Structure 1
Amino acid sequence: MMYMQLTGIARSLMAAAFAAAVLTAPLASAWQADNGDGTYTNPPLNADYPDPDVIRVGEDFYFATTTFANAPGLRILHSRDLVNWTIAGHVLPRLPGGPAFDLDGGNVYRRGVFAPSLRFHQGEFIVAFTVVGQHTRLCRAAQVAGPWRCHTLDRAAFDPALFFDTDGRAYIATAIGSDGTVTLLSLSPDLTRVTEARQIHHIPGAEGSKLIRRGDWIYLFNAVPRRLAMTISRARALTGPWETIPSINSAETGGHQGAIVDLADGRWWGFVMQDRPAIGRVTNFSPIFWRDDWPVWGTPEAPGRVPAIARKPVQGQPRAAPATSDGFDAPQLGLQWAWNHNPDDTRWSLTERPGFLRLKATTARSFWTARNTLTQKGQGPYSRADAQLDLRGLAAGDRCGLGTLGKVNAGIAVVRAADGSLSLQRHTLIDQGDSQDATTLPGPAVPLAASRVTLRLEMDFGRARGRLSWLDGAQARPLGDEFELIYDWRTGTFQGPQVALFCFNPDREGGHLDVDSVQFSDRPPAD
């Protein structure tokens, strides 16, 4: 493959044509579940939003989700109808913990923030969560966008289920899948101390607890990961005795970790997580009906499963979706973005060149270990991200570009050589879970004469394949072969593949990359 050598004027015209072609192309924000006819298609969020907890406050719904090592951490979304969601904010500006959260001496991929439990009590949002290897934290805020104030309990509660009973008393239920014993922690009125711990139930392999009250019954929902299934238990009192029945499962009926949420009109709706091979764990929403005071997913005509298409629980709300495209015109990052770990804030800026995201080359062996790798979620069933890059600030040895962060970390980087020349290079890093910087497979390189380039990432989750290209005029030219899109909880990031912008230098802190924009589309190009 040859790159056509261009004059300065021609390069400028070509760069302008690139920008015009990309910016005027039909764009969409993300998968749109709202069918526009009063129905929706599952999942409302066709992306990796695992370990859901959903509450209603008035006519508003809030959805808290696991974010692992990403910073900011603990994402909360907002909806008025359980179908159309936008990002409301994050609880943690930075991940608390040791140096590994800063990518110092190791990493915390597959760890970090797990399974938050969100509640609204006495005018405050309250969330309980456990960072792997640390004690459980409770954070409070008057507004879901924050600011949040946090304190730490004296123990770790795995997958904590925060619960406020009708008398105002607060509890946390917790169970870990290696055992399945459900322990009830009683909290002090100010929520700062555990006053009692009591074993109340046992379900082999259970975790992911949720506690909900409906009338005289208290319902305990638990995931059983080894079966990718969910159980429902009920009792008249928190201490039992409990009755337990099997519920739905991920492989056959639509999910395996979740619970129920009430609507303003008194109806109830269900939400569950489902593992999908390439994209990760998505959250489905379902009507439920009650039979003998047990919640049943689906409808009386089709009981026991999450429907593929259902009537929206609340009618009349406009379509909405989490943001994706970004022109970096604001002085702060869009809520769709998250760093791979706590970033080094000296290595990025939105203000040094207004209208651009500046990523400064940090010392790292790859973007897997760089402290300024910026990510957002891949969107199913197809994602296309075009990143327009200004390369003039790159220094010798810098490797800056676009790729995926996950298990298969494929990147297309612009590399500045010692003689000042630029080239596009492709490499693939596959994390095997046993090393900080795993196997790197080198790929092809292409000389680059222009000082601006548009790089393209395509993720086809239906085929579980990704492709990296660069734009030669209006023509996308792939660099290297397609690569696999893999979700794997044992290796990688424990998340579905993410879009990644990166800039690093293996030997020293280097120059910088200016990102003009990232334009997203959920439709393949018409070529």
Structure 2
Amino acid sequence: MFRAAALALAASLAAAAPAQVWRSDQGDGTYRNPVLFADYPDPDIIRVGEDFYFVSTTFANAPGVTILHSKDLVNWRIASHVVDRLDGDPRYDLKDGGDYRRGFYAASLRRHNGMFYLAVTPVGHRTRIYRSAKIEGPWTYSELNREAFDPALFIDADGTAYLGTSIGSDGTVTLLTLNDDLTAVTAAKVAYYNKGAEGSKIVRHDGWYYLFNAIPGKLAMTVSRSRSLWGPWETKASIDDRTGGHQGAIVDMPDGGWYGFVMVDAGAIGRMTNISPIFWKDGWPWWGTPDRPDHVPERSPKPIAGYPFAEPPSSDDFSSRKLGLQWQWNHNPDDGKWSLKERPGFLRLHATQADGIWTARNTLTQKAQGPKMRAVAKLDTAGIRPGDICGLGSFGKYSAQLSVVGGAKGARSLRMMLTESTTDGPRTEVRVPSTSIAGRMLWLRTDMDFDAKVGRVAYSLDNRKWTEVGGSFPLAFDWRTGTFQGQQIALSCYNPAPAGGYLDVDSFTLMPLPQGVRP
């Protein structure tokens, strides 16, 4: 009786909630994949009691190493960021070309002896083991004596902690034994060789050890099993990007069942996570259902019924004294160049010195959302000074920015620029050099259609009549020359000269792209 009432309440709450860009929870006891239509790559998910925690890669963005929380594996909210500021490398401050495509890669999260432990390796640096009594932090870390690529933290039944590590250019899975407080490596031993394997995850179930590995060259996943961590291992092919994804593992449920989580490469939006039922056959975990094994279902009953719709925040009126958890800077920010206190109710971005969006510090980003989204920023441009270039747009492989440009004697104009990140550095095309505008209040808009792989920008002087500027621009994902992330939405303010003014952002609103709007 209570369960039925809870289901009815959840469905009514979901139906009453305002429209979202993407809603995995269908409000009828089912969900659709992906659970988050945004770039949350390299997932690792654990259960602690009735709570699930999901950690994701954030590269050079700050704050970094995002952890989300859910009660049902479908509806997620951001719980915390492990790293407030990235430390240990001047490039994290956007010096020496910055650290795009590097920074903090795949992390591994576990709960042990009343503490949360998280293993992560900043690229080119030694592995860190972060720890906190609470998922919200504060987090402190110990640094190991080596760099373990994509570390897989595993706590065995006897309490011994291990890190598994392998890299796709090889495939040798090495297990590092850790001391009792997880601060140092006491031994290292090769456990297995699986050609091309990386992104390891280790799970123990019913007397077996299960080793999950991504095979990046094939966009596929394998699962191996052994009675001992040290082998011998036997391996079977599992899912791939055609059937659901290629990096992830499984997590146990409160009722004793299991679910799988797996990352899928999805083009310009980035790498998203699918959730799948798991069934067991002949001692092996299989994604999906027995009538369609190793296929992640597009739609399925919710893993746990009764919980209402939830999602990470997106829109913001900047009334809080802290930035919302959805926001990340492109690198460590210069804290003297932004404020939520100088003008309460507004985000103030002071112009940083830079020659373009790619080198501009204090570019404030959040994840773009699919399949089709619209972002609108309400701006007060009174603080713009000569040479300032401040605006809204996309950020990634292609950064399309519609910006207010400060001119002499208080004049202001609009400029649309498209910057492509290439192997030779950023290349900028000025599509619309100058469109004069009057008044101080301005609305800027960015549309992104991930089905059509194109976007557009527009402006308004009254939030009613809109003018598109610069034509369509491409959306793309390129780990070699982009940010190694899906397209992001960005607010920025910079000036090639050292002195500049500021941009006041009154509000930011994210919504679905209205039906019928052309790509």
Q: Does 1:430 align with 2:420?
A: yes
Shift in Å at residue 129 of structure 1? 0.4
Distance 1:416 1:156, change over 3 A: same
1:254-403 paired onto structure 2 within 5 Å: 254-403=244-393
SS at match of 1:114: coil
Write the distance in 1 (CA, Å) between the matches of 2:106 and 2:193. Answer: 20
Write the distance in 2 (CA, Å) between the matches of 1:225 and 1:526. Answer: 37
Amino acid at match of 2:303: P
Query: In the TM superposition, what whole-angstrom CA distance separates every residue of 1:78-107 from its partner, at most 9, and x where no partner exists?
Result: 000000001001000011222111011211
Quick check: 329-338 or 424-433, which moved more?
A: 424-433
SS at match of 2:471: coil
Write the distance in 2 (CA, Å) between the matches of 1:346 and 1:509. Answer: 14
> Which among 170, 180, 193 is matched to residue 179 of structure 1?
170
Q: Give the corresponding residue for 2:62.
A: 71
> Which among 458, 477, 481 is matched to residue 471 of structure 2?
481
Shift in Å at residue 366 of structure 1? 1.3
Q: Give the corresponding residue for 2:6.
A: none
Query: In the TM superposition, what whole-angstrom CA distance separates every residue of 1:153-202 from its partner, at most 9, and x where no partner exists?
Result: 00010000000000000000000011100000000101111000000100
Query: In the TM superposition, what whole-angstrom CA distance separates every residue of 1:203-247 from its partner, at most 9, and x where no partner exists?
Result: 111000000011200100000000000010011111111011110
Query: In the TM superposition, what whole-angstrom CA distance separates every residue of 1:469-512 from its partner, at most 9, and x where no partner exists?
Result: 00244122111010001011111101111000000001123111
1:376–1:500 contact (8 Å) kept in structure 2 = yes
Distance 1:413 1:504, change over 3 A: same
1:33-432 paired onto structure 2 within 5 Å: 33-250=24-241, 252-432=242-422
Shift in Å at residue 135 of structure 1? 0.4
Q: Give the corresponding residue for 2:8.
A: none
1:253–1:304 contact (8 Å) kept in structure 2 = yes
1:75–1:89 contact (8 Å) kept in structure 2 = yes
SS at match of 2:470: coil
Shift in Å at residue 525 of structure 1? 6.6
Q: Give the corresponding residue for 1:15.
A: none
TM-score, normalised with respect to structure 2: 0.95
2:21–2:372 contact (8 Å) kept in structure 1 = no
Shift in Å at residue 523 of structure 1? 3.3
Write the distance in 1 (CA, Å) between the matches of 2:499 and 2:75. Answer: 42
Write the distance in 2 (CA, Å) between the matches of 1:98 and 1:174. Answer: 23
Write the distance in 2 (CA, Å) between the matches of 1:525 and 1:424. Answer: 27
Write the distance in 2 (CA, Å) between the matches of 1:258 and 1:62. Answer: 14
SS at match of 1:37: coil
Amino acid at match of 1:281: R
Write the distance in 2 (CA, Å) between the matches of 1:28 and 1:401. Answer: 26
2:150–2:198 contact (8 Å) kept in structure 1 = yes
1:28–1:520 contact (8 Å) kept in structure 2 = no
Q: Give the corresponding residue for 1:14.
A: none
Write the distance in 1 (CA, Å) between the matches of 2:328 and 2:383. Answer: 24
Write the distance in 2 (CA, Å) between the matches of 1:230 and 1:327. Answer: 42
SS at match of 2:332: coil
1:27–1:520 contact (8 Å) kept in structure 2 = no
Amino acid at match of 1:477: T
Number of aligned residue pairs: 499
Q: Give the corresponding residue for 1:460.
A: 449
2:377–2:506 contact (8 Å) kept in structure 1 = yes
Shift in Å at residue 30 of structure 1? 3.9
TM-score, normalised with respect to structure 1: 0.93
Q: Give the corresponding residue for 1:11.
A: none
SS at match of 1:392: coil
Q: Give the corresponding residue for 2:430.
A: 442
Distance 1:405 1:114, change over 3 A: same
Structure 2: gaps (5+ residues): 1-16
Shift in Å at residue 142 of structure 1? 1.0
Q: Give the corresponding residue for 1:3.
A: none
1:29–1:323 contact (8 Å) kept in structure 2 = no
Amino acid at match of 2:443: T
Write the distance in 1 (CA, Å) between the matches of 2:495 and 2:19. Answer: 34
Distance 1:418 1:27, change over 3 A: farther
SS at match of 2:333: coil
Write the distance in 2 (CA, Å) between the matches of 1:500 and 1:41. Answer: 28
Shift in Å at residue 28 of structure 1? 3.9
Cα root mean square deviation, aligned: 1.1
SS at match of 2:91: helix
Shift in Å at residue 141 of structure 1? 0.8
1:231–1:245 contact (8 Å) kept in structure 2 = yes
1:427–1:441 contact (8 Å) kept in structure 2 = yes
Shift in Å at residue 401 of structure 1? 0.4
Shift in Å at residue 61 of structure 1? 0.3
Query: In the TM superposition, what whole-angstrom CA distance separates every residue of 1:54-91 from its partner, at most 9, and x where no partner exists?
Result: 00000000000000110000000000000000100100
Amino acid at match of 1:447: S
Amino acid at match of 1:466: G
Q: Does 1:509 align with 2:496?
A: no
2:447–2:513 contact (8 Å) kept in structure 1 = no
Distance 1:518 1:526, change over 3 A: farther
Write the distance in 2 (CA, Å) between the matches of 1:479 and 1:214. Answer: 57
